[in-house]
Chains A and B, each alone.
Chain A
Amino acid sequence: MMMTLPLARRTPLDFVFAVLMLAAGGYAFARYGQYMDYYEHGILLGATLALVWFGWFWPAMRYFLPGAAVLALLGTSSYHGDLATAQHSFILKYFLASQSAVMWMCVLYFIATVVYWVGLVRRANTVLSIASGLTWTAALAALTAMLVRWYESYLIGPDVGHIPVSNLYEVFILFCLITTLMYLYYEARFKARTMGAFVLLVISAAVGFILWYSLDRQAHEIQPLIPALQSWWMKIHVPANFIGYGAFSLSAMLGVAWMLASPIERKPATRNTLHALALASVVLALAIGIYGASWFDISGAAAQLTMGGVLCGAVLLVIAAWPGVMAKSLPSPQVLEEVSYRAVSVGFLFFTIATILGAAWAADAWGGYWSWDPKETWALIVWLNYAAWLHVRLVKGWRGEVLAWWSVIGLAVTTFAFLGVNMFLSGLHSYGGL
């Protein structure tokens, strides 16, 4: 029923929402239309219609989107056109300045993760619904932060202002937002709240990165756009990409949950081997953490991120040794698998679109739609990986363990394409170095 939205089944609220969105789009056009080019007019129209569709498709958005808009408007109007207001205005300093909202987002995500796990372990529905509420609030903070940040960038300088999807820091917030929303959609659709314990783990990891990147590297500072990024393509290429990344992360975490939900017999010998491998991974991780920077000629931060990745691998090996230990707390493997599949199919569609948009942009900026740049090549590898995943599921009818693990590996490949390429390989696409 996903795409069918017959008008007859619309509620009055749907139309109120649609009118609201159209009015907002019209107001934006009336006020800022003269500063936009034709492409941007097109994007504004497309975005307005997409928001209407989004609210109709997922009723919760009829409250969520206006809610974030109200908060963002409250924040931007509190500025009175001066960035320094944030220093003494109470509401900005503690809530609505983009950085304050980001901090709220971070804290809320961490708390939500813990609460989801408490709910999972104690099988308490009330606790889980609290966790769900916290996650909603975190997503609201994330969207508000992005909107306010967008406005703040123009306060720094009219020529500096740009949509906040231009560097690693900004897209990480976008990633948290998109992954959360996708998850919340499936949570409601499949009435399976315990999935949150796993999905929120990957979001928490992203939040940890945001905090480190901001506190240690001051990455939150808004920088003007370099000429290569001054393109309307950026406004659609990056968000499309992150719908893909978010969906792939979701499916990978559900893959892990699937393993823990599906009792599979393991021979003691297999179990021992897996334990040994996990131990070896821990040793390897520590070695990389300590010596990695000098071995591979990378920054200390990159080495530590790699260490974190290998440690995750160790945890996965232990999970592989004990499948099904959480079967009683988690939704049925069929549900997990179904959601995982849906996430991959959404992600695949948007990742395809994003890659195509990227190619079209590259044709404008670099003189060729495909240059075999490391980022492009890795995008292709990610695409081929999920294309293969979908093929074996749809054509060969594979299900279960192999696909669950494959989606986890898929996330590793995606993460490398997203972060690893920036850390280890050089190329044209070096907008988010570490």
Chain B
Amino acid sequence: MRFAVSLLTVLAIASVIGTVLKQGEQYVDYRIEFGEFWFAIFKPVGLFDVYHTSWFLLILGFLVLSTTLCIWRHAPGMLRDIRGYRENATRNSLRLMAHNAEADGEVDRTAAQAYLRQAGYRWRILDKDGVWTLAAKKGVGQRLGYFFAHAAIVVICIGGLMDGNLPLKLRELVGNKVPETRDLPQSKVPAQSRLSPDNLSFRGNVTLPEGAVADVVFLNSGEGFFVQDLPFALRLKQFQVDYYSTGMPKRFASSIDVLDPQTGKVVKSGVVEVNKPLLYDGIAIYQASFGDGGSPLQLTGWHLNRPVSQKFEARSRSTQSIDLDGKAYTLEFGDLRVTNVENMGKNTPDQTSAVAVNKLEQALASSQSVKSTSTMRNLGPMIQFKLRDSSGQAVEYQNYMSPFLDDGALYLMTGVRKEINAPFQYVRIPLDDDMKVDTFMRLRDVMLDSSAWAEIAKRTTDKAFQGGGFTETKRAEFAAVTEMILKQFAQGGFPRIDAFIREKVPEDKRPSVAQTYLKILQGATVDAMDIAQQRAGLQAVAMSDTQYRFLMDSLVATSGFFEYGSPVYLQPSGFTEVKSSGFQLTRSPGKRVVYLGSILLVIGIFCMFYLREERIWLRSENGKTVLALTGNRRSADLESAFERHRAALLPATSKEEIAT
């Protein structure tokens, strides 16, 4: 017992470690997280997969064994107890029981039996040598509870072991099977890393693009994987996601066909959903994950570093090398995500009163309603990709296909990040009336074109000095400043102008100078736009609030592109969606065994706690009757039961109670 308890403690501690340390990750990740030193200690102990280590299974096995022995040892005695009535009890032994009473006179035998029947007892009578003994019992199932509960533990563990990967571990130990660590296509994986379809139990994963067929699943194993051959083939016909009106996903469903591996005929079709697996041939197919199955994309690219932004069309899917402005890059496409629901924050009602509302009051008011006040918005299809230069440095982009509506104006969003896990920084490209980026690109070209600066400055100056009355020197000065601001802006956007002011202007004058510069730049942008339209042979756009906002947004976006880090902007312009769905396939013959054990366990615990065993003896000899009661309930309850029995069973002339 003590040994078992200490093993149980070890098991509990190991389990705790298993929950604190994330299990079953790639070894590389652990190495990074803990460093070489701890990795070298943790790995052989098996801390990265505690629940499947041999020592863990060994302890588990031992506990099963000791529970079995425990049942074995106690069973015969207990069974005897359960079956027997102990009608041979002597007068003395009855008088030693906790509840007993003695009275003069004989028992009304039929009345006593009727009473006991009514109360749910079973009994046996022994009438021998002038002694009449009635031994009654009820609730003996309580003791059966002990068997059920303990046998249940054994049954559950056996079921668990059936489904555990014990056989595979053993074969690995012998060297019969070796996990594959190379990145190979599954058909090339050698036999020593393949498991046959007869494998008793397994749990593996496979991801299928729509229309594709798989006849294997992959089992993770430490540093590598095994390929499990299936007794059938699986085809994903279609994968579908349904959404709630709030934008949260509501249903993930894969329509699949199960195919005969030889003939290729469909033997079963169905829909697999989360919580609704499909069963075929003892193998359960679960919906596990989903993603992009390699949708072909159409992209419009914009060269950003050329004198005139050039558009180019591209079709793309997989990783590819591209040459941009004479430099070699690798373009690595990530997933296409068609639906991107983002929480746009609280949809707070307009403050009608100017009085600031107390924060608690506000919280109380909002806690009144169970309806969510957050606004969810679907931002539409988005493509994520990495652009890796020849030195291996990668910048990650996140480009949306649909325009983003903000306060009446439309933008295309492109996010950029230079470090993994850093948040994306977005550039919002304003769209023109045709919902295109072309106008912005034209304006940007002019703003960055050094040959245009003089012309812009001239026009801006002309406008500023329309009223006349200023000297020619002042005009020239103003034009020079305008050109200088344009130049600074073209070299690095707003941050560059800011740096310039910090460098040249005394601190106390900086705010006012910055204001002036900004005004001049804004004025210059208007003229730059006119030039851009002229160059393209288009009509000038009439100034309006919308147009002004477009120009200001263009300034911000132009400035934002200096931090963009890519020589191109890739605008997704179309796609043919191919979804993919991840399945988990399991064969677990132990499941039924475990469920059987579970039922036994519940019955067992129920019997142990809620069936109350009670035994009554009624013994008449020489005109005296003894009543005795035993039970395993709280003494106060038993006492009141005893009082009832005494009133019903003993002759009325009951004298003193002997002892309690």
The residue on B at minimum CB distance from A360 is B595
In angstroms, how far is the closest chain B Cβ from the Cβ of A43? Answer: 15
Question: Which of the 9-residue segments B102-110, B370-378, B393-401, B460-468 touches chain A?
Answer: B370-378
B75 at interface, CB cutoff 8 A:
no
Across-interface contacts of B476 in A (CB, < 8 A): none
Question: Which of the 9-residue segments B272-280, B525-533, B556-564 touches chain A?
Answer: B272-280
CA distance A97 to B368 in the complex (A): 8
B594 at interface, CB cutoff 8 A:
yes
A1, A369, A388: which contacts B5 (Cβ < 8 A)? A388
CA distance A99 to B368 in the complex (A): 5
Q: Which of A222-261 contact B (CB under 8 A)?
A: 222-224, 226-228, 230-231
B19, B22, B248: which contacts A378 (Cβ < 8 A)? B19
Interface string of A338-378 (1 = CB under 8 A from B): 10000001101100110010011001111111101010011
Known contacts A230-B274, A367-B584: A100-B368 contact under CB 8 Å = yes
Q: Is the contact region of chain B dominated by helix, strand, or loop, or is it mixed?
A: mixed
B286 at interface, CB cutoff 8 A:
yes
Q: Is the contact region of chain A dominated by helix, strand, or loop, or is it mixed?
A: helix
Interface string of B185-209 (1 = CB under 8 A from A): 0000000000000000001000000
B203, B244, B370, B610: which contacts A2 (Cβ < 8 A)? B610
Please tell me the size bucket of the interface on B.
35 or more
CA distance A226 to B366 in the complex (A): 24
* Contact call B275/A377, Cβ cutoff below 8 A: no
The residue on A at minimum CB distance from B243 is A224
CA distance A4 to B273 in the complex (A): 43
* Contact call B273/A86, Cβ cutoff below 8 A: no
Across-interface contacts of B249 in A (CB, < 8 A): 226-227
In angstroms, how far is the closest chain B Cβ from the Cβ of A100? Answer: 7
Known contacts A159-B250, A380-B15: A222-B602 contact under CB 8 Å = no
Across-interface contacts of A87 in B (CB, < 8 A): 368-369
* Contact call A353/B602, Cβ cutoff below 8 A: yes
Across-interface contacts of A97 in B (CB, < 8 A): 368
* Contact call B601/A152, Cβ cutoff below 8 A: no
* Contact call A356/B19, Cβ cutoff below 8 A: no
Known contacts A3-B610, A159-B244: A93-B588 contact under CB 8 Å = no
Across-interface contacts of A369 in B (CB, < 8 A): 588, 591, 594
* Contact call B22/A221, Cβ cutoff below 8 A: no
A4, A149, A352, A384: which contacts B120 (Cβ < 8 A)? A4
Known contacts A227-B274, A369-B594: A349-B19 contact under CB 8 Å = no
B23 at interface, CB cutoff 8 A:
yes
CA distance A215 to B609 in the complex (A): 42
Q: Which of B578-605 contact A (CB under 8 A)?
A: 584-586, 588, 591, 594-595, 598, 601-602, 605
A98 at interface, CB cutoff 8 A:
yes
In angstroms, how far is the closest chain A Cβ from the Cβ of B243? Answer: 10
Q: Which of B221-253 contact A (CB under 8 A)?
A: 244-246, 248-252
* Contact call B251/A425, Cβ cutoff below 8 A: no
Known contacts A360-B595, A369-B594, A384-B12: A149-B5 contact under CB 8 Å = no
CA distance A380 to B373 in the complex (A): 39
Q: Which of B326-385 contact A (CB under 8 A)?
A: 360, 363-364, 366-374
* Contact call B366/A368, Cβ cutoff below 8 A: no
* Contact call A425/B274, Cβ cutoff below 8 A: no
* Contact call B373/A227, Cβ cutoff below 8 A: no
* Contact call A338/B367, Cβ cutoff below 8 A: no
In angstroms, how far is the closest chain B Cβ from the Cβ of A168? Answer: 15
In angstroms, how far is the closest chain A Cβ from the Cβ of B511? Answer: 36
In angstroms, how far is the closest chain B Cβ from the Cβ of A158? Answer: 10
A156 at interface, CB cutoff 8 A:
yes
* Contact call B248/A226, Cβ cutoff below 8 A: yes
In angstroms, how far is the closest chain B Cβ from the Cβ of A418? Answer: 14
Across-interface contacts of A215 in B (CB, < 8 A): 360, 363-364, 367
Q: Which of B21-59 contact A (CB under 8 A)?
A: 22-23, 50-51
* Contact call A426/B584, Cβ cutoff below 8 A: no
Interface string of A40-55 (1 = CB under 8 A from B): 0000000000000000
* Contact call B605/A216, Cβ cutoff below 8 A: no
CA distance A156 to B249 in the complex (A): 16
The residue on A at minimum CB distance from B595 is A360
CA distance A231 to B51 in the complex (A): 28
A397 at interface, CB cutoff 8 A:
no
B16, B277, B591, B609: which contacts A381 (Cβ < 8 A)? B16
CA distance A425 to B23 in the complex (A): 12
CA distance A366 to B274 in the complex (A): 8
Known contacts A359-B594, A360-B595: A152-B370 contact under CB 8 Å = yes
Q: Which of A143-180 contact B (CB under 8 A)?
A: 149, 152-153, 156-157, 159-160
Across-interface contacts of A157 in B (CB, < 8 A): 244-245
* Contact call A98/B360, Cβ cutoff below 8 A: no
CA distance A356 to B284 in the complex (A): 19
Interface string of B120-132 (1 = CB under 8 A from A): 1000000000000
Known contacts A99-B370, A216-B363, A227-B275: A363-B584 contact under CB 8 Å = no
A272 at interface, CB cutoff 8 A:
no
Having A221-B374, A338-B634, one finds 17 other A-B pairs with CB under 8 Å, namely A83-B371, A149-B370, A157-B244, A221-B372, A224-B246, A224-B248, A227-B251, A227-B273, A345-B609, A349-B605, A349-B610, A359-B598, A360-B595, A366-B286, A368-B163, A384-B11, A388-B5
Pick the 4 closest A-B CB pairs, nearest first.
A374-B19, A227-B274, A367-B286, A221-B372
Residues of chain B having any CB pair with chain A under 8 Å:
5, 8, 11-12, 15-16, 18-20, 22-23, 50-51, 120, 160, 163, 203, 244-246, 248-252, 273-277, 284, 286, 288, 360, 363-364, 366-374, 584-586, 588, 591, 594-595, 598, 601-602, 605-606, 609-611, 634, 637
Residues of chain A having any CB pair with chain B under 8 Å:
1-4, 83, 86-87, 93, 97-100, 103, 149, 152-153, 156-157, 159-160, 214-216, 218, 220-224, 226-228, 230-231, 338, 345-346, 348-349, 352-353, 356, 359-360, 363-370, 372, 374, 377-378, 380-381, 384-385, 388, 421, 424-427
- Pick 24 A–B contacts, CB within 8 A, sort by A: A83-B371, A99-B369, A152-B370, A156-B370, A218-B373, A222-B370, A223-B246, A224-B244, A226-B248, A348-B609, A349-B609, A352-B602, A360-B598, A367-B584, A368-B203, A368-B588, A369-B594, A370-B160, A372-B15, A372-B50, A381-B12, A384-B8, A388-B5, A421-B19
